[in-house]
Structure 1
Amino acid sequence: MVRFLTLLALLLFTAAARAELEVKVEPRNDAARKNIEAFIGPVSASSREGMWRLARSSREQALSALQALGYYHPRVRPRVTGSDADPVLLLEVTLGEPVLLDEVTLEVSGSGRDADYFRFPRSRHLMPGAQLHHGHYEDTKSLLENQALRYGYFSSEFLENRLLIDVEENLADVVLRYDTGDRYRLGSVSFSETPFDLDLLQRMVPFYPGVPYDADLIAEFNRELLSSGYFEAVQVSAPPDQAVDGEIPVRAELKARDPHSLGFGGGFSTDVGPRAKADWKQHWLNSRGHSRGAELELSEPRQKVTSWYQIPLTPPQSSHLRFFSGWQREHIDDTESQTMVLGGLFQRRLDNGWNRSIGLRLEQERYSLGSDSGRSTLLIPSLGFQRTISDDSMDPSQGYSMMMDLQGAKAGVLSDIDFLRLNMAVKGLYTLWDNHRFLARAQLGGIASDGFASVPPSLRFFAGGDQSVRGYDYRTLAPTDETGERVGGRYLMATSAEYQYEFRPKWRAAVFIDHGNAVDSWEDPMKTSAGLGIRWVSPVGPIRLDLAKSVSDPDEGVRLHFSMGAEL
């Protein structure tokens, strides 16, 4: 049995042996050749005589390797070729007839016998008439044992696990009878000493005592504790040997993080030029897990200061109530504004994976928009949904993200005007054959208002720039007033299709086409641009450099776009 487990591991090893060993199989069979080379491993000798001394053991190893694949009557003839200074061991193999499966008995009993995860997979490799393959037999046994460990059948056992081989008749019988026993349950959760209330910690547990054991629940609990932001180290365990009447106590060892953190960052993009950012967070300020923080963002067109206070809800790691305040000044081309905001946001991650936010904010904005200027006061309720699925947060190879934001105001309810604003965006990324990447994105938006002339610039739509329609400068695509100054649009469409080719690790060439505009009517013309780019996945994140040219406006020059950040 130990030999066959060793052979099973070797079946997965496909690296070629050194040149001192050559295997020829008749009839040709690459699987047999590779398994022989893997089982024998490197062979070397300083002379032909020394190589002949290795020939016998190599022949025996080749026979064992072939038996693992069901060949019990092969002929293996060793020869030594090459010069005395550079000998080569040649194994000439004639396979013969393989052993075939005759009777196959696969049975599961116990409380888990009807569970989907204990059903034997339909496989042509474990059917009467199939060629014997010890690896497939061992894989089936491992599958049952692994499923038992994952789903809490810790008293499971094989009643029979036999592989009976009649070498003379070239037939084999497989008998696997497996008893799952009873499924264990997860018990109550205890925590190591922390500065937090036990009620807060218990609200983070994603299961109730008595739920059937599932290793994924333990892993999820571990992830949820880490994602709460309260701990720098987490270890959740549920040892089966401590079970009482089939119920396993769960223990969470926690180490609280330093409550304060201060961060600084910076960057550059052709949209806003150089920018700097600083943020301070107090990750927990009391035993109930409340937190607070402040952020400062500086760039030439935009300066912003915000502060917030957050109260955890249930579950605390994915549901909270945040109160915020902020001030922002923005001056971009023909638009200048100063905004003060005060509000609250209820955020929750839903069971289906979407992040939902319900907000209410009071916003006051002073602005100059083209040749016009004004001041608006708005009480804005909002509803948002967002979801991102990807295989890597920094440099994904596939995934998608979706976002929807709906907000509005009612004149007379602390608001100057009626409006309803909808903004939606979707991105998708797919990689084919490792180095061919396809990226697409689309954004649609619209504003419904009888008093659109009084809608402040922070709510209007502009297009153009690194993340919109390349080939145009930042926010230069928008309707204009009678003086020709851009004042923002009622509707927005921005789409892009991009192909990337990874010509060396972490380096990609890109071609793309963008299409869209910010308009007051869907009958207004859209703009199209195309370009080339280079992508570098740097240690601090992906960096993109693009050259884009407008197709719709040939007089527009070639524009350089530089940006950083993940693609989803």
Structure 2
Amino acid sequence: MHLMLTLLALVLLAQTATCYAQDTLWFEVKSGTSYQTRFSLANDTPPEDTSALRELLQKHLTIHEAMQNPRMNDSEWRRLIQKTPQEIADLVATEGYFKTKTVTVQPSVNLAEFHISLPPQAKVSQVNVSITGEIQQPSHQSTLEAAQKSWPLPVNSTFTQQAWGTAKRELLATLLRAEFPNAKITTSQAMVNPQTQEVLITLAMDSGPAVRIGEVSIHGLQHYKESLVRPLNTLKTGAPYRQSDLLTLQNSFMSTGKFRSVDVVARTEALNADHSADIDVTVHEMEQNTFRIGAGASTNTGARIVFNYTDRNLFDRGLLWDSSLRLEQKLQAVTSNITFLTDNKGYRDSIQNSVTRTDLEGQITTAVQNGVRRYWGQPGIFEQYVGANLLYEFLTVDGESSQFNKAATLAYGLNVRKLDHPLAPTKGWILNTQFQLAPLDKLSDGRFLQSQARLQGFYPLTQSTQWLGRIEVGTVTGARSVPATYLFRAGGDQSVRGYAFQSLGVKEADAIVGGRVLLTGSSEIVQWLTSSWGAAVFVDFGHAANSWKDYDPAFGYGLGVRWRSPIGPVGVDVAYGEETKEYRLHFNLGVNF
């Protein structure tokens, strides 16, 4: 009798081993100790990509964490083996696999095999989302419709805990960003039928009252009169509450260069009787006077040392005076910039004075400029300016011919940015345009118009792959005697890589001088290998010429390394210039706006 039972057990064991041997080996984990786990998937497992599940089990199963402990013993090992099937079921359920079956086999003392049979991934079968509250009123119909359309987990979509949590947060955020900062979830339920792998979603939200902007109070001022900074307030009492408007207000204060930090808080939890929320702006001022010395180097203009002095309350009128002395191998400059605070009409005025000397490609240029500008709009989002500038220029080409040029110009510029991040964008675009007109012969060597535009684009091809593009075009029309400052040259870090800074232009004797037309562009692919480090491949083109019929683009291409630093993206490139047959090293810090 005992013999028959033993034989039967052996037969069953052999059949079980044969059955599991047919399963597909998924992955194995072996630590520094002798303990090892092996995971197999049943042949009837759906063919979906299981790499995410594999990583989930490798990282979060208790048995794998314990295997790293050198004090692991056989008794603890057996206990962990027994609890692992339930942990597997709990973990894969977060990815939408419910009613997972796991059979454990232990061929040897130190080896545990887990044979997993995954059901089909759960799908959303029905969605019941309701939003009540003041948002139901006709005046908020557009906000309600936008919230309903934003629901990202529709019928037949794959259900996971992450997708479920994200869907709820995004719907709630749509209301919070609008005029309903007190919106809340009242019912949240996802009912799973493990037999059919179908999920019934029920979600209810209360929008609460529609909130409007109340009084704006400014706190923390020490050296500035409130009357000077009050025009920085971009909010209007009685306007609908918008979370983005609070950020605009914060940027308005920060862009002055006078405050170390600015906190904007809306009292949405203590509304006034008319459902308005008062706004508190708390500022922390920077030092009134600072002096800084900086040193560095660039592949464009060489080693440098910079002396900078800043007075943030010039004449006790809230004027920002920023002055600097810049000494580089190929460029030396003295600059002074006085910026006025935003006035009651939203205008920001500035006075610029500078003396700049450059020695590039056989051309030495000394330019003295005095100008004024008026800005309006939202800095960093949509900003325009008009200005006037007086230029005196001393020019020497190839150490021989020298000349004096002058020009009085009027300028108009437009800067537009639509980015997902101000310092390290992954999606969006930047447009910069500028027009400079010299209208009077008496104040200039001739009448001319300089037009210039630059467009940059950022687009994520995949979660870890990004495309960056750039195109820049410029023209000068009018008089033949245009100052070199207003002509174009190409080449360098932010132009055509593979060529020296401003080395692409019009050949004159042994020097390179500026041209009247410019066209440059770039296409770049960045593959992020980690969250901070990536590799890039790029192609640049461009040149400057005296006319479009003389235009012949030079090409540069190469490889680079990218680092997402705390102060913005950093890039190091090695580029090959097709025209010069030379390799050049380029270094970039930040996004060129």
**TM-score where L is the length of structure 1:** 0.76
Question: Percentage identity across aligned positions?
Answer: 18
Output the amino acid matched with 1:83. Answer: S
Secondary structure of residue in 2 paired with 1:312: coil
* Of 21-30 and 407-416, the range deviating more from structure 2: 21-30
Match of 1:281 among 306, 310, 320: 310
* Of 195-204 and 541-550, the range deviating more from structure 2: 541-550
Output the amino acid matched with 2:263. Answer: Q
Cα displacement string for residues 196-230 of structure 1 (whole angstroms, at most 9, x for unaligned residues): 22234432233222333333333443343333322
Cα displacement string for residues 130-173 of structure 1 (whole angstroms, at most 9, x for unaligned residues): 99988777666555555554445466566766677899999987
What is the alpha-carbon distance in structure 2 between the residues aligned to residue 268 and residue 35 of structure 1? 44
Conserved 8 A contact 2:380-2:417: no
Report the CA distance between 1:294 and its aligned residue. 0.9
CA 1:143 to 1:485, structure 2 compared with 1: closer, same or farther past 3 Å?
A: closer
Conserved 8 A contact 1:36-1:61: no
CA RMSD of aligned residues (A): 4.6
Conserved 8 A contact 2:290-2:309: yes
Match of 1:303 among 328, 332, 347: 332
Cα displacement string for residues 474-526 of structure 1 (whole angstroms, at most 9, x for unaligned residues): 54544456x6665543323334445566678746464535332322x322251
What is the alpha-carbon distance in structure 2 between the residues aligned to residue 271 and residue 171 of structure 1? 61
Question: Which position in structure 2 is the counterpart of 1:363?
Answer: 391
What is the alpha-carbon distance in structure 1 between the residues aligned to residue 93 and residue 492 of structure 2? 65
Conserved 8 A contact 2:124-2:201: no
What is the alpha-carbon distance in structure 2 between the residues aligned to residue 566 and residue 98 of structure 1? 44
Question: Which position in structure 2 is the counterpart of 1:203?
Answer: 231
Q: Does 1:218 align with 2:226?
A: no
Q: Does 1:447 align with 2:472?
A: no
Question: Which position in structure 2 is the counterpart of 1:492?
Answer: 518
Secondary structure of residue in 2 paired with 1:284: strand
Secondary structure of residue in 2 paired with 1:266: strand
Q: Does 1:81 align with 2:106?
A: yes
Q: Does 1:42 align with 2:62?
A: yes
Match of 1:381 among 410, 432, 440: 410
Question: Which position in structure 2 is the counterpart of 1:110?
Answer: 133
Output the amino acid matched with 2:305. Answer: A
What is the alpha-carbon distance in structure 2 between the residues aligned to residue 171 and residue 431 of structure 1? 32
Question: Which position in structure 1 is the counterpart of 2:539?
Answer: 512
Conserved 8 A contact 1:469-1:517: no
CA 1:100 to 1:232, structure 2 compared with 1: closer, same or farther past 3 Å?
A: closer
CA 1:149 to 1:345, structure 2 compared with 1: closer, same or farther past 3 Å?
A: closer
CA 1:16 to 1:388, structure 2 compared with 1: closer, same or farther past 3 Å?
A: farther
What is the alpha-carbon distance in structure 1 between the residues aligned to residue 578 and residue 287 of structure 2? 51
CA 1:447 to 1:68, structure 2 compared with 1: closer, same or farther past 3 Å?
A: closer
Match of 2:446 among 417, 426, 429: 417
What is the alpha-carbon distance in structure 1 between the residues aligned to residue 417 and residue 103 of structure 2? 59
**TM-score where L is the length of structure 2:** 0.73
Long gaps (5+) in structure 1: 1-14
Secondary structure of residue in 1 paired with 2:232: coil
Q: Aligned ranges for residues 344-359 of structure 1 at < 5 Å? A: 344-350=372-378, 353-359=381-387
Cα displacement string for residues 322-371 of structure 1 (whole angstroms, at most 9, x for unaligned residues): 11222233444543343322221112335992332211122222334566
Conserved 8 A contact 1:153-1:184: yes
Match of 1:192 among 199, 216, 219: 219
Secondary structure of residue in 2 paired with 1:443: strand
Cα displacement string for residues 518-549 of structure 1 (whole angstroms, at most 9, x for unaligned residues): 22x32225153445454464968635454534
Conserved 8 A contact 2:213-2:276: yes
What is the alpha-carbon distance in structure 2 between the residues aligned to residue 533 and residue 133 of structure 1? 39
Report the CA distance between 1:116 and its aligned residue. 2.7
Conserved 8 A contact 2:232-2:342: no
Question: Which position in structure 1 is the counterpart of 2:455?
Answer: 426
Report the CA distance between 1:258 and its aligned residue. 0.8
CA 1:315 to 1:264, structure 2 compared with 1: closer, same or farther past 3 Å?
A: farther
* Of 231-240 and 117-126, the range deviating more from structure 2: 117-126
Question: Which position in structure 2 is the counterpart of 1:324?
Answer: 352
Secondary structure of residue in 1 paired with 2:485: helix
What is the alpha-carbon distance in structure 1 between the residues aligned to residue 502 and residue 451 of structure 2? 19
CA 1:311 to 1:394, structure 2 compared with 1: closer, same or farther past 3 Å?
A: closer
Q: Does 1:457 align with 2:484?
A: yes
Secondary structure of residue in 2 paired with 1:241: coil
Conserved 8 A contact 1:47-1:87: no
What is the alpha-carbon distance in structure 2 between the residues aligned to residue 192 and residue 199 of structure 1? 13
Q: Aligned ranges for residues 123-162 of structure 1 at < 5 Å? A: 145-151=172-178, 153=180
Report the CA distance between 1:110 and its aligned residue. 2.4
Long gaps (5+) in structure 2: 1-26, 31-35
Conserved 8 A contact 1:395-1:542: no
What is the alpha-carbon distance in structure 1 between the residues aligned to residue 522 and residue 196 of structure 2? 65
Output the amino acid matched with 2:326. Answer: E
* Of 227-236 and 422-431, the range deviating more from structure 2: 422-431
Secondary structure of residue in 2 paired with 1:303: strand
